[in-house]
């Protein structure tokens, strides 16, 4: 077997192993910080109000106007005023069974998400193009705040 074939195959195996390790570490971190349970909608709304109060009246980075028609707006900012972000937090509630889900992930881990990679490659449609750098520029605040009363509540924020 030629040397270049050996090197190419070896590089591919190392890249696949690296990707597998990274995916495993991400899944481990996600599930380690995952908290699920049952809660009343009023409790979730209080938690979300506390997050809103913490960040003030600043507009969310992603505004979901109408999910049925995919009317989603990204409110990019030019500057985060020097404030750093490191953690993405997710809080959701589903009315069907009263399930509450809360988790967090380090922002660097999102660099390997398909949304970030497709956005950087220019594959994602313009209105859905959002990268981790957009979130970093936005700075600490609410990324998504979406509510369908009596059905579901979703809030994602970074700090």
Domain range summary for the chain, segments of one domain joined by + = 1-32, 35-158
pLDDT at 149: 83
pLDDT at 78: 65
List of the chain residues with pLDDT < 50:
none
Dist. CA 45–CA 148, nearest whole Å:
12
pLDDT at 32: 77
pLDDT at 145: 92
Q: What pTM, to 2 d.p., does this model score? A: 0.76
Residue 129 corresponds to which tokens in the numbers above?
């193009």
Dump pLDDT digits (tens) for 118-156. 666 666 666 677 888 888 888 899 999 998 888 889 999
pLDDT at 156: 92
Read out DSSP for 57-124?
TPPPSEEEEEGGGTEEEE---S--TT----EEEEEEEETTTTEEEEEEEEHHHHTTSHHHHHHHHT-S
Q: How far is CA 73 from the centre of its chain?
A: 16
Q: Which of 74, 62, 88, 58 is nearest to 158 (CA)?
A: 88
Contact 76, 68 (CB under 8 A): no
pLDDT at 74: 84
pLDDT at 77: 73
At 37, which helix (H) or strand (E)?
strand 35-38
Using CB atoms within 10 Å of the CB of residue 122, give its burial: 0 to 12 exposed, 13 to 18 middle, 19+ buried: exposed
pLDDT at 113: 72
């Amino acid at each position: 077997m030629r040397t270049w074939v050996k090197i190419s195959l070896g590089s591919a195996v190392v890249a696949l192993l690296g990707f597998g390790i990274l995916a495993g570490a991400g899944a481990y971190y996600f599930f380690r910080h995952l908290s699920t349970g049952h809660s009343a909608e009023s409790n979730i709304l209080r938690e979300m109000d506390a997050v809103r109060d913490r960040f003030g009246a600043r507009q969310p980075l992603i505004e979901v106007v109408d999910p049925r028609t995919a009317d989603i707006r990204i409110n990019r900012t030019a500057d985060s005023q020097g404030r750093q972000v490191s953690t993405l937090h997710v809080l959701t509630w589903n009315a069907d069974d009263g399930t509450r889900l809360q988790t967090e992930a380090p922002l660097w881990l999102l660099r390997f998400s398909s949304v970030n990679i497709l956005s950087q490659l220019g594959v994602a449609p313009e209105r859905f193009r959002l990268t981790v750098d957009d979130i970093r520029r936005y700075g600490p605040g609410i990324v998504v705040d979406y509510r369908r009363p009596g059905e579901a509540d979703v809030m994602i924020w970074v700090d």
